[in-house]
């Protein structure tokens, strides 16, 4: 029995994905706490480097701010889910309620991000860099999905090893974020 429990506890986080979900009121005040949580989670529970811990801090901040500003009205919530797939990837999912001031579908939001990711696109306003210049640049997958009850789910995934290099060059990848030439 004890052996079984010990076996289970070692496998959680080492081989099995860990999923943590946090629900927050739509208030920017709470986001600094989520940034701290993200930093700690990446540092302590994943194999990503310190540089990536800070990058995910920004990614989560931008996704949450976008959900608060556009997706969920004051008094409603946003939901943030972290899924750590040990030795493989991290996924972060942010969901809004669709009650916010900007009514966009997932397809429309994706089109805006794609347009702003274009190297020729000139950012002229104060806003508009978060999803396209930070979130999209620092993740391997960024997918927006319409939620059945209204709202949008933004889901990002970052692999420990660049999936594009996995087949050809995986033997050269020792560090999660740096190509080590041998």
State the angle between helix axes of 50-66 and 31-45 in degrees (0 to 180), rounded to the nearest 10: 150
Q: What are phi and psi of 21, to 5 degrees?
A: -120, 135
Using the contact rule CB under 8 A, the part of the chain among 1-9, 53-61, 76-84, 90-98 near another protein is 53-61
CB atoms within 10 A of CB 4: 8
Residues 2-41 that bind another protein (CB under 8 A): 28-29, 31-32, 35
Q: d(Cα 107, Cα 101) in Å, to the nearest integer?
A: 17
Rank residues 68 and 90 by Cβ distance to another protein and give the closer one: 68
- Give the one residue of 137, 140, 143, 150 binding another protein; rule: CB under 8 A: 137
Size of the site for another protein (CB under 8 A): 26
Rank residues 61 and 91 by Cβ distance to another protein and give the closer one: 61
DSSP annotation of 12: B
CB of 114 to another protein, least distance (A): 17
Using the contact rule CB under 8 A, the part of the chain among 60-68, 84-92, 108-116, 171-179 near another protein is 60-68
Q: Is residue 44 a contact partner of residue 103, using CB atoms and an 8 Å limit? A: no
Q: d(Cα 3, Cα 8) in Å, to the nearest integer?
A: 9
For residue 162, give every residue at least 6 positions away whose Cβ sits within 8 Å of its Cβ, in sequence order, or none: 140, 173
Residues 112-131 that bind another protein (CB under 8 A): 123, 125-130
Question: Under the rule (CB under 8 A), what is the footprint of another protein?
Answer: 28-29, 31-32, 35, 51, 54-55, 57-58, 61-62, 65, 68-69, 123, 125-130, 133-134, 137-138
């Amino acid at each position: 029995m004890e052996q079984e429990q010990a076996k289970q506890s070692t496998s959680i986080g080492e081989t099995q994905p860990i999923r943590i979900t946090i629900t927050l009121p739509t208030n920017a005040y709470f986001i600094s706490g989520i940034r701290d949580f993200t930093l700690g989670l990446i540092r302590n529970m994943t194999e990503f480097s310190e540089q990536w811990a800070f990058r995910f801090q920004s990614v989560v901040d931008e996704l949450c701010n976008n959900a608060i500003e556009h997706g969920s009205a004051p008094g409603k919530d946003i939901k943030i889910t972290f899924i750590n797939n040990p030795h493989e990837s991290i996924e972060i999912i942010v969901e809004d309620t669709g009650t916010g001031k900007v009514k966009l579908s997932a397809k429309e939001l994706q089109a805006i991000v794609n347009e702003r990711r274009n190297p020729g696109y000139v950012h002229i306003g104060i806003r508009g860099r978060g999803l396209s210049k930070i979130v999209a640049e620092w993740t391997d997958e960024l997918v927006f999905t319409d939620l059945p009850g209204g709202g949008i789910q933004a889901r990002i995934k970052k692999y420990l090893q660049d999936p594009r290099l996995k087949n050809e060059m995986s033997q050269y990848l020792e560090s999660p974020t740096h190509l080590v030439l041998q």
